[in-house]
Every structure is written in structure tokens, then in C-alpha cells.
Structure 1
Amino acid sequence: MVGFLFLRLTGKKAVAEMHSFDLLYIFVLTNIISTPVEVASLGKAIMYAAITVMIYKLIVRLSLHNKLRWIMYDSPTVLIRNGDIDRKGLKTVRMPVAELLGHLRVKGYSDTQNIALAVMEETGEISVIPKSEYRPVQPNDLQLQVKQEYLPIPLIMDGQIISHNLKYLNLDLDWLLQEVKTAGQKVENIILATFQENGKLFIDHNEIQEHQHNPYYYRPGKDH
């Protein structure tokens, strides 16, 4: 529990974007927290863990300055430039060509000639920028005006009402329960209910609709 609280204090970065320094921090913190199991000194372990967290947060704050950042973190490594594989870059990150091609397929690209730039980022993730003629068409390319994207707001998830979203929308519980009742559903049976752009409530419940062997609704396996 103490370890979880310290990780929460650290912030999302150490968990979501693991650099080499972040991994080292997690390793050190884990060893400090596990000390009471061996020597039964909970107080010292908590104190040392707290000091470690503070030092880590201080160093991360200092790393926002570019000069220190280039010392602590690896620079991005170019793997493909203008359709040509960078052999030196692959050697630097110790990646065989077959693995690079696999990463490209995951990103939706099958031919290295279509790639303008592929880079291994500081976190180990590979980002791919296709050549302009191979990138997806954007509305701006066709000079189309599109409306602002609307994100459906969940009001019920896994049978539980999301009260803070109701409050955000200035809606009350009675309205939600009435909508659920009108749909012939019960809150506890609803997987997801979202507030739509048109002001309506969309409900996804647990019932699976049978489609009478429609090939468009094929499910893999023998239990069709």
C-alpha cells in the first residue's frame, strides 16, 4: 500500500513512459519497500522510500532543462529516413531488420519505401511518419469543413452510476433513472450508458442479439 502511494506521488510519467532512469528509480524504490520483509524495519523503509521519491521528483523537474535532459535520457534514434533503412540506427538500438518490419506492420505499413521517417523514441516506442502520398487523406486535403468531434460522456459503467459526470452535465439522478426505465432496463444490468451529442442516452446492455447465421456477424470458434 505504501509503495502504491509513493508511485501515485511520483506521477504518471514513471509508469506510462519508462526511460532508463525511470526504470532504475522503480527498481530502487521496489528494493527499499521490500526491506521490511527481510529485516523488519518498516519505519526506515518508509523514510528511505520517501527520500528516494523526493530526489526522483527533483531530478525529473531539473530534467525539464534541455542540457540536463540530454545527459539523463537517450536521444531518439532514426531507423528509416526517406524510405532508406538506417543500418547505423538499427545497430545502435540492436534491432534486426525483421523486427523493424514487424513494428511497421503493427503500425499499418508493409513497405519501407513508403516511410518518410521512422524513429525509436526515448521510451523505446517506434513512431512512423509516412511519405505524404501514403498518409491517410485528411479533411483539410479535400477542403472539407468538419464539425467538432464529440466525445460521448459515460453516465453508467458496469452497472454503476458515474455521479460526477451527471453533475458536470447539470443532470439529476431522477432524469437518468427515468431514461433507463423508459428503455426497459435496470441500472445493474447496463454495461455502458453514454450521453450523446443529441441529448439522448445510449444504452449498451448485457444482452447479445442473435443474427441468424448472418456471415457479417461471424464469431471465431466452434460456438457460433
Structure 2
Amino acid sequence: METLYHGIIIFLTGYLLIRVTGKKAVSQMGSFDLLYIFVLTNIISSPVEVESVSKALTYAVIIAILYKIFIRLSLHNKLRWVLYERPTVLIRNGDIDRKGLKKVRMPINELLSRLRVKGYADTQYIAMATMEETGIISVIPKSEYRPIQPNDLNLKIKKEYLPIPLIMDGQIIYHNLKYLRLEQKWLINEVEKAGKSVEDIMLATFLENGTLFIDDNEIKSHKNDPYYYTPGKDNK
């Protein structure tokens, strides 16, 4: 029973500390973010081996406070460039920067692979590619090769509408109903009109035109349509 109690305390403490220190610590992590998560996980897991829950949790809280202080300091312009590593240029104006590749210890074939993932097959079309502090490669194409934007053609585009989920995994999202000032009775009627039940619906969203889009759990038969092919031996 004591082991279970300790396990719950350690788990909840770790969860709360990560929540308190913010989303940045669990997003695309920089070097210090990675260090923080690594140290924190080792500290909160140590009581499982040495049975020193209070001491380990105290250390965990201290580490979390230090991390918060570091993040605050990084908001100041003068300290930001000291605390965080600068981006490394890998391609400039279509030319591969060998010094940049050497600095980040990346072979050319890996660079080309990462560029293909981002949709760039030819380096000569790239104005600048840099490796950010988080390890992600950001790419800016040359102006003549960038995708055409509506503004380039003087087109007026209506504001983007985000479909609002009202049912997810068979459960009604009541706070979204309240936000839209809709009643549960209206939602149930719409679901029944479609011949469905709430429990069978994977996702139902409120659309811009005021209608309800329903995605149920049923998989439509594709009858060997080549467009539905998936690799492997499970195709029938």
C-alpha cells in the first residue's frame, strides 16, 4: 500500500511540475529544456529505488524553480543570445554551407533527406535553410519558387472557419454547445435525423453553414479501389 501511495505522489508531482513550468518544456525542446526534463525525470524516479520520497520531491521542486527563472531570463534580449544557441545556416542563396554542416555534424545526404520531408528536392531553389536551436531545419524558398499566395493574385479570401466539435468519441462536448448557444435537444435531433446515435459517432462538428457534419465509426467498403491501397499483406 505504501508503494502505491508513493507511486501516486511521484506521478502527480511530476505532472504538476511540468504543467507549472509551461508548454515550452514539452514542445520542440531546446538544449536547456531537454536538460530540465532529463534531470526532473531522474529525480522523481529516484524514490522508487532509494525510498526517499520527500528529498527527491524537494529537489524536483528546486529544479522546476530554476527552470522557471531561466525561462524568465531568456525573455531579455541581452541574455537570450547567451542562453540559447544561435541558428546555424546550412544553405544560403542556393549554396550549401559546408562550415554550417560541419558545425552541426550533418552529412549532406541527411540534409537532402530532411529537405525532401519539407517538400524541397533541389537546393538551388532555397534562399536560406537553417538549423534552429531546437534541432529543426527551417527553410525559406527563393521568392520565384515560393508557393503563390492569394495576395499575389489580388484575390479576396474569406476568413477561415474552424469547424467546432460537438461530439467526440461518442461523448457530447457541452462547453462547445454552450459557446455556440445551442441546446442539447437540437444536437440530438440532428443526430437522429442522420439515423445515428451519439455513442456511435467518432466526430461531429458544427460547420460554417450551421449544419452538423458526422463521421461515424463505419468504414465504407472500397471494393479494391487502387486509391485505397495500403502497403502490407492485409489488403484483401
Mapped to 1, the partners of 2:180 and 2:231 lie a distance apart of 40
Alignment of 1:35-184 (within 5 A): 35-184=46-195
Output the amino acid matched with 2:203: L
User: Offset of 1:70 from its aligned partner?
Assistant: 1.4
Runs of 5+ in structure 2 lacking a partner?
1-10
Mapped to 1, the partners of 2:117 and 2:184 lie a distance apart of 43
- Residue of 192, 205, 208 corresponding to 2:219: 208
- Count of aligned pairs: 224
Runs of 5+ in structure 1 lacking a partner?
none
Tell me what 1:20 maps to.
31
- Residue of 195, 198, 203 corresponding to 2:209: 198
Root-mean-square deviation over aligned CA pairs: 1.4
After superposing the two structures, state which structure 1 stretch, 27-36 or 185-194, moved more. Answer: 27-36
Output the amino acid matched with 1:184: G
Q: Secondary structure in 2 aligned to 1:129?
A: strand
User: Offset of 1:101 from its aligned partner?
Assistant: 0.3
**Could you say if the C-alpha distance between residues 217 and 17 of structure 1 is closer, same or farther in structure 2, counting changes exceeding 3 Å?**
closer
Mapped to 1, the partners of 2:134 and 2:212 lie a distance apart of 40
Tell me what 1:187 maps to.
198
Mapped to 2, the partners of 1:79 and 1:220 lie a distance apart of 35
TM-score by length of 1: 0.95
Mapped to 2, the partners of 1:125 and 1:220 lie a distance apart of 29
TM-score by length of 2: 0.91
Identity %: 71
Mapped to 1, the partners of 2:210 and 2:175 lie a distance apart of 17
